[in-house]
Amino acid sequence: MADSPKPVRDIAETARDVKAGSFRMASLSESLRNGALRAIAKSLLENGEAIFAANREDLSAGAESGLAEPLMKRLKFDRQKLRDSVKGIEDLIGLPDPLFRTAFVRQLDEGLVLRRVTCPIGVIGVIFESRPDALVQIASLCLKSGNCAILKGGSEAAATNRELFRLIRDAGLGAGLPESFLTLVETRADIGALMGCHESIDLLIPRGSNEFVRHIMDHSSIPVMGHSDGICHIYADKSADPGKAIPVIRDAKTQYVAVCNAVECLLVHRDIAESLLPAVHADLTRLDVTLRGCPETLKIIPAIPAEEGDFGREYLDYTMAVKVVDGIDEAIGHINRFGSHHTDCIITEDAEAAERFMLMVDSAGVYQNCSTRFADGFRYGFGAEVGVSTGKLHARGPVGLDGLVTYKYRLYGGGHVVADYAEGRRSFNFRDL
Amino acid sequence: MADSPKPVRDIAETARDVKAGSFRMASLSESLRNGALRAIAKSLLENGEAIFAANREDLSAGAESGLAEPLMKRLKFDRQKLRDSVKGIEDLIGLPDPLFRTAFVRQLDEGLVLRRVTCPIGVIGVIFESRPDALVQIASLCLKSGNCAILKGGSEAAATNRELFRLIRDAGLGAGLPESFLTLVETRADIGALMGCHESIDLLIPRGSNEFVRHIMDHSSIPVMGHSDGICHIYADKSADPGKAIPVIRDAKTQYVAVCNAVECLLVHRDIAESLLPAVHADLTRLDVTLRGCPETLKIIPAIPAEEGDFGREYLDYTMAVKVVDGIDEAIGHINRFGSHHTDCIITEDAEAAERFMLMVDSAGVYQNCSTRFADGFRYGFGAEVGVSTGKLHARGPVGLDGLVTYKYRLYGGGHVVADYAEGRRSFNFRDL
């Protein structure tokens, strides 16, 4: 591989170079960026065999080192993954440009016009574990939104990542993107170095296990977008319709257990516990779900006694904690204390109760009578998903392309000075245009 | 002062209590919050004498300990400051509610409706230096936006802050606010403790010197909204109109020197340096401005030779660095390297140059032909200013009430489950309502 990129030695220096190049990246037209995405999709399709060959290297190294089956599965990059990746890029090309969008235009005074316009965030550091398709996805999201990306992939996927990176980079440069648009760093030690680049990197997006994301969040002064735990709750209120409660609980718990928007804890209003819990138990044990119940629950249905720590635990498995509560306020208090501010649902026919729940539950998603599994950018109609954020600032919940942009205030004048206004010779005359 | 609040001992515990109370705060109606603001304004007006008496205590303690004149001035809370504070609260009451605003309503499918609705951030920690009027302002901004505030004031203003706090708190509780809406912490050691409360405090707003703000930003994993340096630039392009350049430079440098949006560095295109610089020199030396010039500048006008560090320095005084540049790209590069991403201006008659400058200068404010001093929430027509942010995420530039809110996704269903969509029994049918 004579044309593979030379290894990056000093991350801080590289990041500074990327930052310096990011300003040109921010000025590129939509058509240039979409053209580059088209060239990248074409190159990936045409070079499938080279990618699969690199992936076989990683797979056999993984098999040799005894990588677990789920990891091997995520590591695999086959024709289907290639098709999905290219489809993702094509969808992205069709989405509206997130840049240069004007939130408002306001005349401050005659000839003095303020515009708030979206622009890229700048340099985004992405740290991801084994899945090589994540590289394609995040590189194209960053490109669409005019950001430079510094990628740090997992060592298990090193050969695949290197090949994907080479193809994307070459196609992008050929389409007129600046050198800085995409950078790959490879050694394990680089994560710490990346986390220290707060002068050059504007945002970190970690993708991987909870522990991994939590570690990045706790140890970097660079803003982090992501989520660690997904501890979602369903609260079945006094007025819950069992015809909605049972299927929603079933779906939220069992439709896909290993994800952040699966439900981990069911809270049931005391008044309906004796009628609802046996039905929930019958429905879920049929699907091999283990219930861990509070003492009140155990009086009604057979379950494993919940221990300390079972509430506020992310099972990511066919297990759910169950607790009987005195009412909506106890449910809200429990969720705010033990949840992870991701997505929580109330099952109720009472609109006032739903409103109270939605106002007071401090989560990115507050749902009535539907499965927590809907918490997803594609299901929200965003067209592309950057990730899910449990932070409250900037972007919250499922994040679409909008989460990768910020804004500037542009002020156009004709020699206007503040002294004229401070000294009463002129006065502001605000008018939204 | 028998009725003064009891001293706070354990900050972490207090912050947890405030957090637990913040959910009720988030559910209060606009009329309750505005009613509380009205009660607070009334109480402050009726208890002016008690405030002035407390302020006299602080002032004599300050005089005894030899507090510098500017600090004494900021410490003073007299009838004029009281009038201004009350006026600020009245203006705030008149502003539209930043809460419960719907950014979009989207039908995902029949009977499944997604709403993105604004809500308070939660608990805001505010750390401010000597000015007691800042306490009134920030407490009322937080209240208007449904946030709980934990305030840490400067020790010089302890008596005034305590009296203001007591009046605001009593009036607020009387108007039906929850206990948690406002907390005052007093000892110096508490700053470190506050910075560690990332489980309970959602946002920190520091107000004070650059060093102080920088310290908070570098040492807390809680998101910080604010700005440390304001190193603003004006670039006079080849096509600059001197009739705009001279008054704009004069205003940006001299209208008020001790503020973050004053200009600190002038960049001049080589082609106009010989004509523009003598006029700038004549205009500014008349106003006692000292110029620190690059070698090229010194060939044209008398100035102090600029030393290393003079570019990228925040003078906050009648001093300005001056540099001759080869063109717009050098100017943009210089600003992105030495500026503080606050507000930078191009003086030009060339619309294309202005566009290039605005696209590529990485600052919250990018201006054409007007003074950098316009970078201010009131001058932008926001009605209230929370502060200026040089961060790029969440809120950038002058921040109005909108900067104190975030949003939730509310999803209303009728028993909808994801399995139906995953298994093809139903399909999404996105429609913005």
CATH number, position B338: 3.40.309.10
d(CA B263, CA A320): 60
Using DSSP, state whether A3 is helix, strand or coil.
Answer: coil
B259 to chain A, any CB pair closer than 8 A? The answer is no
pLDDT of residue B1: 35
Which residues does chain B have within 8 Å of residue A398's beta carbon, measured at their own beta carbons?
409
- Ramachandran region, residue B126 (left: φ > 0; alpha: ψ -120 to 50; beta: rest): beta
- Tell me, yes or no, whether B243 and B219 share the same domain: no
B381 to chain A, any CB pair closer than 8 A? The answer is yes
Tokens 């002058």 sit on residue: B398
Tokens 């050694």 sit on residue: A187
Using DSSP, state whether A397 is helix, strand or coil.
Answer: strand
In a domain, B172, yes or no: yes
Question: What is the predicted ipTM?
Answer: 0.92
- Select, from the ranges A340-354, B63-77, B374-388, the one with the highest average predicted confidence (pLDDT): A340-354
In a domain, B266, yes or no: yes
d(CA A322, CA A341): 18
Among the residue ranges A29-38, A148-157, A177-186, A216-225, the one predicted with the least confidence is: A216-225
pLDDT of residue B4: 40
pLDDT-derived band at A9, boundaries 50, 70, 90: low
Considering only CB atoms, A371 lies closest to which of B121, B409, B416, namely: B416
- Select, from the ranges B9-23, B30-44, B224-238, the one with the highest average predicted confidence (pLDDT): B30-44
- Tell me, yes or no, whether A209 and A259 share the same domain: no
pLDDT-derived band at A188, boundaries 50, 70, 90: low
- Tell me, yes or no, whether B277 and B128 share the same domain: no
pLDDT of residue B192: 84
pLDDT-derived band at A1, boundaries 50, 70, 90: very low
- Tell me, yes or no, whether B158 and B267 share the same domain: no
- Tell me, yes or no, whether A146 and A249 share the same domain: no
Which residues does chain A have within 8 Å of residue B370's beta carbon, measured at their own beta carbons?
112, 411-417
- Tell me, yes or no, whether A335 and A359 share the same domain: yes
Tokens 């200013």 sit on residue: B385
A397 to chain B, any CB pair closer than 8 A? The answer is yes
Among B379, B382, B407, most A C-beta atoms within 10 A, so best to mutate, is: B379
Which residues does chain B have within 8 Å of residue A410's beta carbon, measured at their own beta carbons?
358, 365-368
- Tell me, yes or no, whether B220 and B240 share the same domain: no
Q: For the residues A404-420, what does the mean pLDDT come to? A: 97
d(CA A136, CA A59): 18
Q: For the residues B174-189, what does the mean pLDDT come to? A: 90
pLDDT of residue B6: 43
d(CA B245, CA B236): 7
Among the residue ranges A61-75, A243-257, B18-32, B137-151, the one predicted with the least confidence is: A61-75
CB contact under 8 A, B369 and A416: yes
In a domain, A132, yes or no: yes
- Tell me, yes or no, whether A180 and A308 share the same domain: no
- Tell me, yes or no, whether A278 and A297 share the same domain: yes
pLDDT of residue B410: 97
Q: With residue A278 as reference, give the H or E element that holds it.
A: helix A270-285
CB contact under 8 A, B362 and A122: yes
In a domain, A67, yes or no: no
For residue B271 the two structure tokens come to 């082609």
- Tell me, yes or no, whether B265 and B148 share the same domain: no
Choose among A40, A102, A52, A49: nearest CA to A77: A52
Burial class (CB in 10 A: 0-12, 13-18, 19+), B202: buried
- Ordered alpha helix ranges (H), A79-228: 79-94, 132-144, 158-174, 190-195, 210-219
d(CA A396, CA A388): 7
- Tell me, yes or no, whether A319 and A362 share the same domain: yes
Amino acid letter, B271: D
A115 to chain B, any CB pair closer than 8 A? The answer is no
Q: For the residues B167-178, what does the mean pLDDT come to? A: 98
Q: What is the mean pLDDT of chain A?
A: 93
Choose among A198, A197, A207, A202: nearest CA to A152: A207
Pairs across A and B, CB distance < 8 A: 244
Nearest CA in chain B to A430: B381
Residue A324 belongs to what domain range? 232-374
Comparing A28 with A2, which gets the higher pLDDT?
A28
In a domain, B141, yes or no: yes
A90-117: pLDDT as tens digits: 999 999 999 999 999 999 999 999 999 9
In a domain, A43, yes or no: no
- Tell me, yes or no, whether B135 and B66 share the same domain: yes
- Select, from the ranges B216-220, B223-227, B299-303, the one with the highest average predicted confidence (pLDDT): B299-303
CB contact under 8 A, A365 and B221: no
Q: What is the mean pLDDT of chain B?
A: 93
Count of domains forming chain B: 2
pLDDT of residue A4: 40
- Would the pLDDT of A378 be above 50? yes
